[in-house]
Homo-oligomer: A and B are copies of this chain.
């Protein structure tokens, strides 16, 4: 089973205070870019892999999705998600993405926000998603960017020219990365961008868009701390179609 860091009290408490937890989709700087990669929701059967508090599930229904299944490893997250809606077309279930088993051909859209980097075997995950999508169905997801995840000391530093630098190393050494984020000992699984794309292609997907998230000038003006994000990408956004 995958590490269930979200159900640890310390982590859950800290996570609940993040902008993206309090303000929902609009609290995530990368949401507008991810939203632009989504198809029209009208009439779609949608699965959200790592749904958290259910912000996206509710958004999908508000925008016309026929049915939304929200999956998460965390009982605490799901309890909060369930308390946020009485919509009978939204279902929340406990699921471990590492051992995912979805209804074959049951969905038009698989969506995931910042969950796949917790999954060790991405090839198995992509194959399961491919099988669960109808022909022409889409997978749209965000994940931590491998540049962000790779380093032995992932934090800003100063370069020889005095400029802010991201101390990249171990980029081509794939495998687990243990960091202290909200709680100590959070395990993520580092894969190169090439590995991610090749695994999607091997699973039968056609890659249609690859975005290394960069805040817009408007976003930086509204939230100056985002300026440093231009130095290295924190998020990778991918759209792929089942052929």
Binding site for B on A (CB under 8 A): 147, 151-153, 155, 157, 159-161, 163-173, 192-194, 197-198, 201, 206-212, 214, 229-233
Contacts and interface: CB of A to CB of B under 8 A. Distances in A.
Copies in the complex: 2
Contacts of A153: 159-161, 163, 165
B169 A164 contact: yes
Nearest to A229: B172
Nearest to A209: B198
Nearest to A164: B169
Contact of A212 (B151, B193, B201, B232): B193
A143 to B, nearest CB: 13
Contact of A172 (B169, B208, B231): B231
Nearest to A214: B172
Contacts of A197: 197, 207, 210
Contacts of A173: 230
Contacts of A166: 167-169, 171
Given A165-B151, A201-B207, A212 B172 contact: yes
Given A151-B165, A171-B233, A197-B207, 16 more contacts: A147-B147, A153-B161, A153-B165, A155-B160, A157-B167, A160-B167, A165-B168, A166-B168, A172-B229, A172-B231, A192-B212, A192-B233, A201-B207, A201-B208, A201-B209, A207-B207
Contact of A198 (B157, B193, B210, B214): B210
